[in-house]
Amino acid sequence: MPELQQLDVRHAPALLRFEVENRAYFARSVPDRGDDYFTGFAARHAELLAEQAAGLHRFHVLVNDDGAVLGRFNLVDLADGAAELGFRVAERVAGRGVATDAVRRVCELARDGYGLRRLVASATLANLGSLAVLRRTGFTPVGEVLLDGQPGLRHVRELVPGR
């Protein structure tokens, strides 16, 4: 079973490989990160780890037995018991319940490990996979949003103890 791990420096090579291998796949449903993301990956990774150490965010990777990254599951802008959830999974595991399972685990971790009470998440209307994951994991649509110029839905999940 894939393991959800908090992002650290040792994940950098596998995470970069995950992003490169899935770049075209991700670009079909979310805006492309751009070439600068890839050429400046090491510096950006270090920045993310510093922000995590400062308590601003919690970044997670889902890794399989050989250390390959299957997905990213991030809690950003932690404040006042809430955070924003963002996630993406590799094309080779999409549609197999991997994202749904990992989002459930992240929700439990957010509640029980980080003391969060509410998560928000948004997805474009074209991103049917992410919208389905949010629905299956207890998120409720609360309104329309624009995500990089694309129509989307904003969702909320209250993190109730025991659920």
| Residue found under tokens 């003391």 | 115
How many Cβ atoms are within 10 Å of 145's Cβ, its own excluded? 14
pLDDT attached to residue 163? 62
pLDDT at 32: 85
CA nearest 109: which of 154, 63, 59?
A: 59
Work out the average pLDDT over 138-146: 97
Domain boundaries, the chain: 3-158
3-158 homologous superfamily: Gcn5-related N-acetyltransferase (GNAT) (3.40.630.30)
The closest of 126, 121, 124 to 140, measured between CA atoms, is 121
Please state the pTM of the whole predicted model.
Answer: 0.94
Host H or E run for residue 122: strand 118-124
Q: What mean pLDDT do residues 28-45 have?
A: 92
117 touches 123 (CB < 8 A): no
Residue pLDDT, tens place only, 75-111: 999 999 999 999 999 999 999 999 999 999 999 999 9
For 19, the token pair is 């992003």
Looking at residue 28, what is its pLDDT?
86
* DSSP character string of 45-110: HHHHHHHHHTTS-EEEEEE-TTS-EEEEEEEEEEETTEEEEEEEE-GGGTTTTHHHHHHHHHHHHH
| Mean of pLDDT over the chain | 95
Token duo for residue 136: 């299956």
